[in-house]
Amino acid sequence: MKIKGLIGAASILIVGIIFGAILVSGFGLVRPSLADLNLGAKEPPVKLDADASSFSQAFIEVASKVTPAIVQITVVSERENPHQDWFFFPFKDLPKEQKGSGSGIIISEDGYILTNNHVVEKASKVTVGLSDKREFEAKVIGTDPLTDLAVVKIDAKNLPVAYLGNSDDLKVGQWVMAIGNPLSLTSTVTAGIVSAINRGQLGLIRDSYGVENFIQTDAAINPGNSGGALVDLSGAVIGVNSAIASSSGGTYIGYGFAIPINLAKSVSQDLIAHGKVSRGYIGINIGEVDDAIAKSIGLDKPKGVIIQGIVEDGAASKADIRAGDVIIEIDGRPVN
């Protein structure tokens, strides 16, 4: 009787162990050890050659070296309320302040920062955040609505300074990177190519004297990128990100626009030295030379600009310039 009892107990124990193992493994409670895990393929599907690795490294180095010279700009401005004088209007007591943000480029070790006019033009308070997390209150040194550029200043020393390149050397198809703070996401880098140069007549600067000579790029530019840097693969700043092409005025849909850095350098120097930009006006009304005009005056192809009128008592009226003249070049540089 004892032997039968032991055999019965052993059988029950063995069945229990087997059933428990099945039950546990069925519910995934028996897991392999870390040493037994071997996930994914053993090698990448493509081995980059030296050229491909070098190309990728160029983007990495530019992002690393240039990002510290790009700042986040936060502004507080007075909210315009068209209903504030309506005594019975239910929302006449809306908050009087609103916040906005953009980007900026450090252009001197002692704290001068280049940005867009539309970022700071109505600001009552400007705060600059550096890549090392420090924050400074900034003073607006000067603004230029006609180019959508501005300069602000913070009280700091030994800041990382961006290298300002030569936008006249830009070529369509050239790789570029946009660095800024889109949608309040700090230190964001996007890449693309120069899609076109000398873009004008876009209506992005709503002034008859506005200077529109944009670099067009398909590097993603979004709200908050304004005032940030467009750089080439040497890390040189070749443009100031400014505008978005969007039917809704919203976010990126394929391409954006940057102000050429050569124009930005000239404007920023005037703003720092004088607080404003002093411009000379030639005193002429000009138009594009189309194919019909080119053929009528014997040009081999459409080029230059045609003078449509002379402003009375302007500079041109005192020189040997007449309506109907075509300007082909100035100081050896083609005019188109």
The active-site residue out of 118, 144, 195, 218 is 118
8 Å CB contact between 150 and 117:
yes
The active-site residue out of 101, 103, 167, 226 is 226
Structure-derived torsion over alpha carbons of residues 169, 170, 173, 176, reported in degrees to the nearest 10: 120
The first and second tokens of residue 5, run together, are: 């009892």
8 Å CB contact between 220 and 257:
no
First to last CA, the chain: 113
Residue 7, SS3 per DSSP: helix
Q: Can you give the length of the chain in residues?
A: 336
What residues does 193 pair with on adjacent strands?
A: 175
Specify whether 83 is catalytic: no
Specify whether 226 is catalytic: yes
β pairing state of 326-327 and 305-310: antiparallel
What's the CA gap between 14 and 239, in Å, rounded?
78
Where are any strands of DSSP class E within 10-122?
70-78, 97-106, 112-115
What's the CA gap between 168 and 334, in Å, rounded?
12
Give the residue carrying structure tokens 């230029």.
144
φ, ψ of residue 37 to 5 degrees: the values are -75, 135
Nearest to 215 by CA among 203, 230, 198, 232: 198
CB contact set of 59 (below 8 Å; sequence gap of 6+): 177, 189, 191, 233
The amino acid that residue 185 corresponds to is L
- Residue 28 CA: distances (Å) to CA of 25, 137, 311: 5, 58, 86
Residue 292, SS3 per DSSP: helix
The active-site residue out of 101, 103, 144, 148 is 148
Specify whether 118 is catalytic: yes
Q: Show which residues are catalytic.
A: 118, 148, 226
